[in-house]
Amino acid sequence: MRPGMFTEIRRIVVVGLFTFLFGWNIGYPLEVVLCGIGAYILWTFRIIGQLFNWIDKGMRGIPPETYGVWGEISDTLSRQRRRHRRTQEKMRKTISRISRLTEALDEGILVLRSDLTIDWWNSSATNLLGLRASDRGSAVINLIRDPAFVEYIHRDEFIGSIDLPSIIQSDRLLKLSASGFGDNEIALVITDITKLKNLEQLRKEFVGNISHELRTPLTVMRGYIETLQDLPNNTATVETAFDQMSEQITRMQALADDLIMISRLEADNREPVLEAVNISDLLRDIVSEAQALSDGKHSITLDCKEQTLVQAEASDIRSALSNIVFNAVRHNPDGASIAILVSDYQDFIDVSIRDDGVGIDPMEIPRLTERFYRGDSSRSAVTGGTGLGLAIVKHSIKRYGGHLVINSRLGHGAEFICRLPKQSR
């Protein structure tokens, strides 16, 4: 039992006993006890009134001087008030710190209510979107009217981000990313990616231009080397030197061609000209070329039903599939088997290219589609790989909403699956 409750019980017992004895002496014990209880109740109501009056004033100042259970209650409330004030002070400091942090960010932050009206924003958002104080409470779609943003912000689940031109500076590009939190509220992060996009465009233009410029000198060099190789009385050393130079020029030409291809894919923002591509006919041509490349050293089989069609540009699909098949020939030892299987589903087809060759370390698979990444540099040096083939594959099929799946283990061969939608999206 708490001390205050014990004090209160003892007080009631003392009052009751005293009034009973006093009333017994004067001959009215019941009446005197009732009067004592009434006085105690009035005194208790007075204490309760003082306590409520102190609470109504926000529990400021010293609590009323009381004893027993009411004193313990007032002391408890006073301690709670001090604890609450310390908690409030910590919250104020935390909110102030977070506010200073958000103000220091280069990214703009908008907080949207569940009805997509603007609740709060930082100073960077003001600079990026031109917000004014009067915009608080306005619908964000009245501020950013781009149809792509309207569709994005109305999604049930936010995945990824969107790039939009600035509404106040047309030459500025913004990246907007949303995420839900709290009670159906939305945090919208705005990043200025103009410099990054300009640098990316500069890189693409540089790679494309330098690749085109390499073609002419490489062609001239190849022509002179072929002429010099045909000269009589060349020594074995000279012939070896010419052969090595010719081999390196061939590799450089292949690299320039691949760079031009991937630059075209990255820079090509136009909608593809769709046509009905028969995968069966396309793969037969690729298998024929692969057999010539293999010179009979590999077993290549094709399993694909006639009239397997997808809507795409034939050159893109041919580039993607031929890269994988030719890689299987180049990077596997003599005698390896390469099986091409096409599975036809309702909305898409899977082109599986499986071999039983050397395989790939699973740790390297996530990086295989990176530009210039070659998992086994020694093998690539022998086969003349540029490190761009699978990057071209990824860009080619991604253009039509497809994707590439790679399964492999060292010593157990590899499988490359190109999933292609029948209707491009």
Q: At what angle do helices 3-26 and 68-104 cross, to 10 degrees?
A: 150
Query: What's the CA gap between 74 and 58, in Å, rounded?
Result: 13
When pLDDT is averaged across residues 184-200 and rounded to a whole number, the result is: 85
CA atoms in the 13 A half-sphere facing the CB of 80 = 9
Per-residue burial over 384-398, b if 16 or more Cβ lie within 10 Å, else e, is ebbbbbbbbbbbbbe
CA nearest 289: which of 333, 316, 322? Answer: 322
The pLDDT value given to residue 92: 82
The reported pTM is 0.51
The answer, yes or no, to whether residue 262 has pLDDT greater than 80, is: no
When pLDDT is averaged across residues 25-54 and rounded to a whole number, the result is: 79
When pLDDT is averaged across residues 65-72 and rounded to a whole number, the result is: 69
pLDDT in tens, 195-214: 888 777 776 667 667 767 77
Lookup: tokens for 139: 């619908």
Cβ atoms within 10 Å of 416's Cβ, excluding its own: 25
The pLDDT value given to residue 14: 77
Q: Are 410 and 331 in contact (CB under 8 A)?
A: no
Which of 36-50, 138-152, 337-351, 410-424 has the weakest average pLDDT?
Answer: 36-50
Lookup: tokens for 284: 């037969």
Reported in sequence order, the residue ranges of 266-336 that DSSP labels E, i.e. its strands, are 275-278, 299-303, 309-312
Q: Tell which wins on pLDDT, 370 or 87.
A: 87
The pLDDT value given to residue 36: 80
Q: Are 129 and 109 in contact (CB under 8 A)?
A: no
Per the prediction, the chain carries an average pLDDT of 80
When pLDDT is averaged across residues 280-303 and rounded to a whole number, the result is: 90
The pLDDT value given to residue 339: 92
Residue 140 identity (one-letter amino acid): V
What does DSSP assign to residue 353? E
Share of the chain above pLDDT 70, in %: 86
Query: What's the CA gap between 418 and 328, in Å, rounded?
Result: 14
CATH class of 196-267: mainly alpha
CA nearest 128: which of 200, 181, 197, 188? Answer: 188
The pLDDT value given to residue 416: 92
What does DSSP assign to residue 338? E
Q: Are 295 and 403 in contact (CB under 8 A)?
A: no
The pLDDT value given to residue 381: 44
Lookup: tokens for 251: 């590799």
What secondary structure does DSSP assign to 25-70, as a single string? HHT-HHHHHHHHHHHHHHHHHHHHHHHHHHHHTTS-SPPP---HHH
The pLDDT value given to residue 228: 81
The answer, yes or no, to whether residue 48 has pLDDT greater than 80, is: no
Most confident of 98-102, 250-254, 274-278: 274-278
Lookup: tokens for 48: 């309760």
Identify the CATH homologous superfamily for domain 105-192.
PAS domain (3.30.450.20)
The answer, yes or no, to whether residue 328 has pLDDT greater than 80, is: yes
List C-alpha distances in Å: 156 to 120, 153, 186.
Answer: 22, 8, 11
The pLDDT value given to residue 83: 82
The answer, yes or no, to whether residue 91 has pLDDT greater than 70, is: yes
Phi then psi for 124, rounded to 5 degrees?
-65, -35
Q: Are 190 and 121 in contact (CB under 8 A)?
A: no
Read off the pLDDT band of 269 (50, 70, 90).
low
Query: What's the CA gap between 127 and 141, in Å, rounded?
Result: 18
**Residue 418 pairs with which residues in a beta bridge?**
351, 404
The answer, yes or no, to whether residue 139 has pLDDT greater than 50, is: yes
CATH number listed for the domain at residues 275-421? 3.30.565.10
The pLDDT value given to residue 387: 65
What's the distance, Cα to Cα, between the start and end of the chain in Å?
74
Query: What's the CA gap between 201 and 140, in Å, rounded?
Result: 31
Q: Are 44 and 70 in contact (CB under 8 A)?
A: yes
pLDDT in tens, 329-384: 988 888 899 999 999 888 888 999 999 888 888 888 877 777 666 665 444 444 45
The pLDDT value given to residue 377: 44
The pLDDT value given to residue 4: 59
> Domain ranges in the chain?
3-99, 105-192, 196-267, 275-421
The pLDDT value given to residue 43: 80
The pLDDT value given to residue 259: 72
When pLDDT is averaged across residues 58-63 and rounded to a whole number, the result is: 70
Q: Tell which wins on pLDDT, 281 or 102.
A: 281
Query: What's the CA gap between 356 and 270, in Å, rounded?
Result: 39
Per-residue burial over 84-114, b if 16 or more Cβ lie within 10 Å, else e, is eeeeeeeeeeeeeeeeeebeeeeebbbbbbe
Lookup: tokens for 10: 């003892």
